[in-house]
Structure formats: structure tokens, C-alpha cells
Amino acid sequence: MFRKASGFIFVFLSVAAFSAVAADWQALPEQAPAPADNPTTPEKVELGRMLYLDPRFSSTGTVSCNSCHNVMLGGEDNRPVSMGVHGKTGGRSSPTVWNSAFNSSQFWDGRAATLEDQAKGPVVNPIEMGMSELEEAMDRVRDIPGYRPYFEAAFGTDNPMTVDNAAKAVAAYERTLITPGSAYDRYVNGDKEAMTEQQVRGMNTFASLGCVACHSGAAFNGPAMSPGSGFFARFPTFTDNDYVKQYDFTSDEGRMAVTTNAADKHMWKVPTLRNIALTAPYFHNGSVKTLDEAVRVMAKVQLNQDLSDAQTADLVAFLMVLTGEFPQQTMPQLPPTPGRSIVH
């Protein structure tokens, strides 16, 4: 297959159109799937966007979902590890919210099966939004009169202002945060001029090196999984190299901390590579500053391959074309609490 594809490249070189090694190259769907119990509706999306951007549900009133998963940037914060209330930091780098709808589990360690579950986590994490319990956060939502009509429009008038419904709204909004339309997608959809020769070469290297073993599928985050089962991989796989120590890849035990199962030590959710150019610094601990270095690290640590500079450049060129088109969004005016504040 590789040889055949290479020949195909040769034929078309003169018209600046290049072909990739055959692999299961998939364009990103134009819509994200939604679970049966939370179909995506415009009303939920509108409410979810407001909740997502509203910092008043953190203990300090300064941290919203968007603070660490910034939709005006690459869906995260470009920091090694995120900064929550009172300037607190933890050990992990924020995953991007863009295309998180296509993840088979959420968080680096897959401890949430769904976006709905994920949305509840940071609110009560003491180093993130710092609320003592979800109902305390929800009491604040309920204390803002202007939110009620949005909850009623989205969930009906029978006790709509619940934690579960707030999480559903945020998840519904996040399912609209997808980025089809990248050069890669156009290429896969038939526009053979959408990618340069180098980008196609990088795509072929991506396949031939074995990156696709984990980073498969439309979002480059693994195969579709049955509900509740995430797609995980061991990282680092090859530990006999300088990178593992230099970037401290082993002190965080990954999924084992969630399952307490020794087999899950250093197992991590395979993250999407969509918009990977926008989410530096890299890896679960944000220890690697550039995409260039991240590519070299991955090849060595996961595939025991030492890349040439040319291979690295080609792979980076390919990863750059996974940056998609971002939907235009209106900035909401968040409902007020006239004459008082709910932040104390």
C-alpha cells in the first residue's frame, strides 16, 4: 500500500497534488453525536454557553469553564498546568474543549465517561473552581433570576434548575465546539490541493511510523468505543531514554489513581490531535514547550524511534493542518443579580 501510494504521489507532483498512504483517514463530522438522554437543542446550547462563560460559580467568582478551556484560544490556556481559584495550580495541563465531544472518555485519566459528567468535576475541585459542593454552585445559579427562563426553555418548567440539567446544557454547548473544515478535512474530502507536498509526506510518515495505532479516527484520538469505555494507552511506553526523566513523565501515575488498578499505571486517555498546534505546551503535565519537541518525544517514548529533522518537520507540517475552522460565537450578556452580588 505504501509503495503504491508513493507512486501515486509521483504522478501528481507536477500539479502540486499529493496523495497519502492509505490509512483510515477520516474527515471530522459536521456534527457531534449526542447521547439519547441529552439531544443537542439550540436552547440548551445557548444556556450552556452562558454557564460555560460565567465565572460566578467559582468560589472566588473569577474562574469559569472558559478560564482554563478558553474557546477564544485553542480550547485551553496555553499554560503548562492550569490556574484555578486563588492562583492554585495542580499537576496537569488543561485538555482542549474543542472536539472533546469526540472523546470516548473525559479528563486525562478518563475518569468521566461523558461531557455531562466531566462538567461537574472542576466546579468542586478545590484547585479549580473551588466550590464546596455542586448544590452550592447550583444555589448560585438559582439565585440569578435571569437564568430561569433559559432553563425553562431548555428543560421545561418542572424543576428545570438542577445540577444535572446545568451539566447537560454545558455538554450540549460543548458538542457545538467542533472544528471541521481543516485543510486535512478538505484533503480527505477530495480537495487534493488542500495540503502541500510536505504536509502529505508528514501524513504518510504519521501512518508509517505507527502514530495511527493510537491516534486513529476522525479526531485522531482512537476508535469509537462503547459508551463508558474510554480508549487509553500507556505513556511512556519506552522508558529507557532521556526524555522520560527530563520531562518527568512517570511521577503522575495516570489512570491508576482513579481505578487503583495496577494495570492502569501510566495509562492515559489518547488525546485528540485536532488543533494540536494551538495547545502548547504539551503532554499531561505540560512539560514540553513546542510541537516540534513533542513530536520527537512521542516518536521516542512511544515508538522507540529517533526522528530525523526532516521527519520531524514533515510531521509538524502535517499536524499543523489539523487546525480547523472555529464557529463564530456571540458573546452572551450574563443574567445579572440587580443590586447585589452572589460572589462573596
Which residues contact a copy of itself by CB under 8 A?
53-56, 60-62, 67, 70-74, 77-79, 83, 85-88, 277-278, 280-281, 289-292, 316, 320, 323, 326, 328-334, 336-343
**Measuring CA to CA, how many Å separate 22 from each of 3, 5, 203, 209?**
10, 7, 10, 13
| Pairwise CA distance, residues 196 & 313, whole Å | 13
Judge whether 97 and 177 are in contact, CB under 8 Å: yes
Among 303, 300, 272, residue whose Cα is nearest residue 209: 303
Q: State the minimum distance, in angstroms, from the CB of residue 127 to a copy of itself.
A: 11
Calpha distance 155→268 (Å, rounded):
35
Closest approach of a copy of itself to the CB of residue 292, in Å: 6
Catalytic residue among 76, 116, 128, 174: 128
Cβ burial 257-292 (10 Å sphere, 16+ → b, else e)? eeeeeeebebbbbbbbbbbbebbbbbbbbbbbeebb
End-to-end Cα distance, the chain: 64
Output the CA–CA distances (angstroms, integers) from residue 63 to 69, 125, 195, 206, in the order listed.
Answer: 11, 12, 39, 38
Residue 88 grid cell? 492554585
Q: Which amino acid is at 201?
A: R
Least gap, CB of 38 to a copy of itself (angstroms): 24
245: left (phi over 0), alpha (psi -120 to 50) or beta: alpha
Distance CA(306)–CA(283), nearest Å, equals 19
Minimal distance, residue 153 CB to a copy of itself, in Å:
19
56 vs 175, beta carbon nearer a copy of itself: 56
Q: Which is nearer to a copy of itself, 5 or 299 (CB)?
A: 299
263: its cell numbers: 494495570
Q: For cell 486513529, name the residue.
A: 216
Would you call 174 a catalytic residue per the annotation?
A: no
Phi and psi, residue 238, nearest 5°: -100, 120
Taking the complex as a whole, the smallest distance from the CB of residue 223 to a copy of itself amounts, in Å, to 27
Beta carbon nearer to a copy of itself, 131 or 320 = 320
Min separation Cβ 195 and a copy of itself, Å: 16
Closer CB to a copy of itself, 53 or 256, in the complex? 53
- Closer to a copy of itself by Cβ: residue 226 or 341: 341
Beta bridge partners of 233: 268
Which CB, 112 or 291, lies closer to a copy of itself?
A: 291
Residue with Cβ nearer a copy of itself (7 or 146): 146
Q: How far is the CB of 202 from a copy of itself (least distance, A)?
A: 13
- Active site residue ranges: 128
